[in-house]
Amino acid sequence: MVGPLIPMGVIPQAWDNVFAVLLGMGFGISLEASGFSSSRKIIGTFFGYDFVVLKVFFTAAITALLGLLYFSYLGWVDYSMLYIQPTFVTSAIVGGIVMGIGFSMGGYCPGTSFCALAIGKLDALVFTIGMLIGIFIFSEAFPIVEKMYNSGSLGPKLVSDSLGMSASLFAFLLVVIAVGMFYGATWVERKVKKVDY
Amino acid sequence: MDNKLKSGKFYLNPYMGGVCLGLVLMATFYFTGRGLGASGAVKSTVVAAVNAVSPEHAVKSHYYGKFVSEGQHPMNTWLVFEVIGVLAGAFLSGLFFNRLKFKVEHSPKITINRRLLFALGGGLLFGIGSQLAKGCTSGAALSGMAVLSLAGFITMMAIFGTAFIFAWVFKKNWI
């Protein structure tokens, strides 16, 4: 049962969309139950009154990262079959900055806005409408940004390779950094005045 | 805990929530070979709408053209199905934890209209940025980090770094 199971043909391709719905449900439940359906809870990370985003986000990334590395080490998953997002340095930075400004204005990112929308938050509905308009504007204006969109292409590059270390050493360092951040965040949370929301 | 559950204020321990989310993300890679996403489904919606209004414009456009193919409806993508799951899952969680309620969540210092205006602007920028970066906080940052993608780490730092600075610029909207 070497994964990824659907691309390897262990599970037929026809099941792909069924898994999409089931995994999506797991994603939605995890986000909502952690409190990602509240913009004021999410934004608390930047003011120090609630670090739930920092804690959930980094715990999740590390869990999946370590899990997949172990599966690969044990021969249970073929790492080369996993989709590695290709790197376009310029557009990753510029796009990230634009998203960061949007994040601080709207209090959601796309995934969390869907969760908030699902439990009845009308601000999340408006945020989602904003996304539709934004993507439409981007698509129509694409010829203007096309050059930047494609510049700085490095292909599916691994962060550990670009830092010249092994994947496992990088993962170890990331865990150390994350645990340090969790301690720091909890310390700040205790000092900062509580915000009622 | 009972009181918190009744008033809709009960949340999972953040580390527990993170492990749950991480296991779902890992399972997604193990089963499908790809990560989770969100903004891609909104993109499919825009492509489908433009394609319905003017198929010619959609095919000719440098951007929509990438996502329309012969014989397949633009909404028939993995991420659209995944987002249907996200909506259903979040709804069930909200039902279980007593959080289903129509409301506009905003700081008492600002009006509902101001909150909605900023939500619209924030969504608009997130829409633009996610197309540039080829993914959002879920698709590019979180899923990218899970498989050590350099792009994932760059996008994550750019999003959170910028949001940290600008949250203080818009402080009045939040606290």
Region A78-90 average pLDDT: 95
Per residue in A146-173, pLDDT tens?
A: 999 999 899 999 999 999 999 999 999 9
The reported pLDDT for the residue numbered B125 is 98
Mean pLDDT of chain A: 95
pLDDT at B4: 86
Which percentage of chain A shows pLDDT scores above 90?
95
Helix, strand, coil proportions of chain A in percent (round to 5)?
70, 5, 25
Spatial contact of A99 and A109, defined as CB atoms under 8 Å apart: yes
Alpha carbons B116 and A127: distance in angstroms, whole number = 8
Give dist(CA B94, CA B78) in Å, integer. Answer: 24
Give the pLDDT mean for A20-31: 98
Residue ranges of B 83-112 with Cβ closer than 8 A to chain A: 83-94, 97, 99-107
Domain locations in chain B as residue ranges: 1-101, 104-175
Higher pLDDT, A193 or B106: B106
- Please give the share of chain B, as a percent, with pLDDT higher than 70: 99
Instruction: List % helix, strand, coil for chain B (3-state, nearest 5).
Output: 70, 0, 30
Task: Give the confidence band of B92 by pLDDT, cuts at 50, 70, 90.
Answer: very high
What confidence tier does B3 reach under pLDDT thresholds 50, 70, 90?
confident
pLDDT at A30: 98
Residue A60 at interface with chain B, using a CB cutoff of 8 Å: yes
Burial of B6 (0-12, 13-18, 19+ CB in 10 A): exposed
**Rounded-to-integer distance, Cα A5 and Cα A81, Å:** 10
- Sign of torsion over alpha carbons A164, A83, A177, B132: positive
Tell me, what's the pLDDT at A123? 97
Tell me: pLDDT of B61 over 80. yes
pLDDT at position B1 over 70: no
Q: What is the dihedral of CA B35, B41, B44, B46, to 10 degrees?
A: -140
Give the model's confidence band at B113: pLDDT under 50 very low, under 70 low, under 90 confident, else very high.
very high
Q: Is B68 on the interface with A (CB under 8 A)?
A: no
Asked if B128 lies within 8 A of A138 by C-beta distance, the reply is yes
Cβ contact (<8 Å) for A55 and B14? yes
With beta carbons less than 8 A apart as the criterion, state whether B36 and B82 touch.
Answer: yes
* Predicted local distance difference test score (pLDDT) of residue A1: 81
Phi, psi (deg, nearest 5) at residue A12: -60, 145
Where is average pLDDT lowest: B28-37, B60-69, B136-145?
A: B60-69
